[in-house]
Homo-oligomer: A and B are copies of this chain.
Amino acid sequence: MKRVNIGIFGLGTVGQGVLQSLRERGESLKARTGIDFHVKAVCDRSYKKKGTVLKNIHASDNPSIIHDDPEIDIVLELMGGIEPAKSHIVKSLLAGQSVVTANKALLAAHGEEIFKLAQDKFLHIGFEAAVAGALPVIKTLRRTLVINQIHGIYGILNGTCNFIITKMQNESMDYDEALKLAQDKGFAEADPSFDVNGNDAGQKLALLSGIAFDTFISEDSVQVEGIAEIRQMDLSIAESMGWIIRLLGIAKISDDGSCLLRVHPAMIPENHILAHVQDEKNAVLFDSSHSGPSLIMGNGAGSLPTAAAVISDLVSISKNTEPEIWMSSANSIKMVKDYRYRFYLRFQTRDKTGVLAEIAEILAKNDISITTVHQQEGEEPVDVVVTTHEAWESSIRNAIKTIDALPIILAPTVSIRIIDQL
């Protein structure tokens, strides 16, 4: 039986999940693949404290235990962060070792260099686990949909945000309560800003759309907005109009190569399948030329789901002769800076006559046409909610800037895109 020797950098949640999975299901994996996967060395800075997990696996805090072992075929980089993860990957590739990584932050920043090096060395770089955990989004793009032109990607890419929004929606929690619950359950960090501001989803969308559009796309190309401003009343007004709120990552490309990349909360029709992705689940919907729409949903994080994705890459790499080509197009992509959407706007105002007139006048001056207005009695700030016809994002931003400077406005205006068709 063919034997594949593995070296692992980093024995955190995912690394431990890989060891556990290979132990629990190693015999089945051999039978299914005809390959004996053998963890030959683990490099971890606190390896001495992890004896129970390591059992009798050779371990050290010195990277040379992996770099200098010519018998190691595939290196798993499961440390996270930029350095020393990047140096380890580069050194492994230079040493002729293929690499599997779960490190989206690294690939969103330095993927171009790493992909190119792997391709030059005719080595594999697998990163299924870097985007949406257990979901086969990279394999689906590069294999299942390989003949397709990908027109669009619509993704629920951050489990923390989806958990918070669905708890607010289904159990009428307020934002802080839902965030606290996410933290208690381990879905959110003590400092949740990277998740709730949309940055995590932005990195994943950059990586995913790069694969889909055959080029490298940096995370800086993605316009990002988060969910921290969403309140219970936004969800209930949306619901009364037949919409559900989700934090979506959206990538669309036109025939002329202009590319829209956005992460933002969106109101989507309640009968759309993405509106039924609950709790910490992730989902990605691909819109493609030949296969049509394809949705994948499942666990976007967690020790064992992420480990399963890492192991699927191990198997693919061990069975493939030829590495995948990750950036096949020389086409440059032009980013769309401004786009037309319907908007939901919530203004937080003083309880004074003429407020709506002032707001409406500024919207009109910015070519923004109103479709509905909601206003309820209550204490200050009074929420005035307006939905609009399609308008330019830039016009909406300009209008909000002007409105938020008015003395009648007590807090920054909340804006959420309405997407009737996706």
Contacts and interface: CB of A to CB of B under 8 A. Distances in A.
Contacts of A33: 146, 325
Nearest to A147: B311
Interface string A135-150: 1100110111111110
A31 B309 contact: no
Contacts of A28: 147, 149, 214, 328
A335 interface: no
B299 A296 contact: no
A34 interface: yes
A2 to B, nearest CB: 8
Given A135-B294, A273-B297, A294-B298, A25 B148 contact: yes
A242 to B, nearest CB: 14
A43 to B, nearest CB: 22
Contacts of A290: 21, 25, 304-305, 307-308
A329 interface: yes
A139 B136 contact: yes
A363 to B, nearest CB: 35
A216 to B, nearest CB: 15
A302 B305 CA distance: 32
Interface residues of A, number: 63
A31 B328 contact: yes
A214 B139 contact: no
Interface in A236-287: 271-273, 275-278, 283
Contact of A146 (B295, B312, B321): B312
B308 A148 contact: yes
A292 B298 contact: yes
B29 A147 contact: yes
Interface string A16-30: 000001100100110
Contact of A273 (B149, B277, B292): B277
A34 B294 contact: no
Nearest to A320: B319
A420 to B, nearest CB: 16
A322 interface: yes
Contacts of A294: 134-135, 296-299
A81 interface: no
A377 B195 CA distance: 56
A322 B319 contact: yes
A277 B285 CA distance: 13
A54 B297 CA distance: 39
Nearest to A315: B146
A286 to B, nearest CB: 8
B308 A298 contact: no
A402 interface: no
B297 A295 contact: yes
B312 A143 contact: yes
A186 interface: no
Given A134-B291, A272-B276, A291-B308, 15 more contacts: A2-B322, A28-B328, A136-B136, A144-B308, A147-B308, A148-B308, A273-B276, A273-B278, A290-B304, A290-B308, A293-B299, A295-B297, A319-B320, A319-B321, A321-B321
11 contacts: A25-B149, A28-B149, A32-B214, A134-B294, A136-B143, A147-B308, A273-B276, A288-B308, A291-B299, A295-B298, A319-B320
| Those 6 A-B pairs whose CB atoms lie nearest each other, nearest first | A31-B328, A294-B298, A136-B144, A134-B291, A295-B297, A290-B304
